[in-house]
Amino acid sequence: MGIKISKKIKGFSVQTAEDKAKAEQAAAAPAPAPAKEPQRAEVIQMHEQIERPDVLVGSTYKIKSPLFEHALYVTINDIVLNPGTKHESRRPFEIFINSKNMDHFQWVVAITRIMSAVFRKGGDVTFIVEELKAVFDPRGGYFKSGGVYMPSIVAEIGAVVEDHLKLIGMIVDDNLSDEQKQLIAEKRAAYEAGLKKNSEPGDAVATGSTDGKGEAKSAEAGSFPPGATMCHKCNTQAMIVMDGCQTCLSCGYSKCG
DSSP state of 234: T
Percentage of the chain modeled with pLDDT above 70: 78
Q: What is the mean pLDDT of residues 71-84?
A: 94
pLDDT tens, residue by residue, 189-233 = 777 777 676 665 554 443 333 343 333 334 344 467 777 777 877
Residue of higher predicted confidence among 48 and 221: 48
Q: Give the whole-angstrom CA distance, residue 251 versus residue 236.
A: 9
Residue 192, amino acid: E
Q: What is the mean pLDDT of residues 35-60?
A: 82
Percentage of the chain modeled with pLDDT above 90: 36
Domain map (residue ranges) of the chain: 57-167, 175-197+218-257
Distances (CA, A) of 114 to 61, 111, 225: 19, 5, 40
pLDDT tens, residue by residue, 140-170 = 888 887 778 899 999 999 999 999 999 999 9
Strand pairing partners for 63? 72
**Do 234 and 148 contact (CB within 8 A), yes or no?**
yes
Task: Name the region of 39 (left: φ>0; alpha: ψ -120 to 50; beta: rest).
Answer: beta
* Whole-number pLDDT of residue 16: 77
Q: Give the whole-angstrom CA distance, residue 7 versus residue 4.
A: 9
CB neighbours of residue 177 within 10 Å:
9
Range of weakest confidence among 29-43, 73-87, 174-188: 29-43
SS3 208: coil
Residue of higher predicted confidence among 186 and 99: 99
Indicate the burial class of 217 (C-beta count within 10 angstroms; 0-12, 13-18, 19 or more): middle
DSSP H/E element including 196 = helix 178-198
> What backbone phi and psi angles, to 5 degrees, belong to 221?
-75, -5
SS3 71: coil
Residue 113, amino acid: R
SS3 75: strand
Task: Name the region of 15 (left: φ>0; alpha: ψ -120 to 50; beta: rest).
Answer: beta
* Whole-number pLDDT of residue 119: 96
Using pLDDT thresholds of 50, 70 and 90, give the confidence band for residue 91: very high
Using pLDDT thresholds of 50, 70 and 90, give the confidence band for residue 27: confident
Q: Give the whole-angstrom CA distance, residue 153 versus residue 140.
A: 10
Residue of higher predicted confidence among 110 and 183: 110
Q: What is the mean pLDDT of residues 56-74?
A: 91
Q: Give the whole-angstrom CA distance, residue 215 versus residue 203.
A: 19
Q: Give the whole-angstrom CA distance, residue 142 versus residue 249.
A: 20
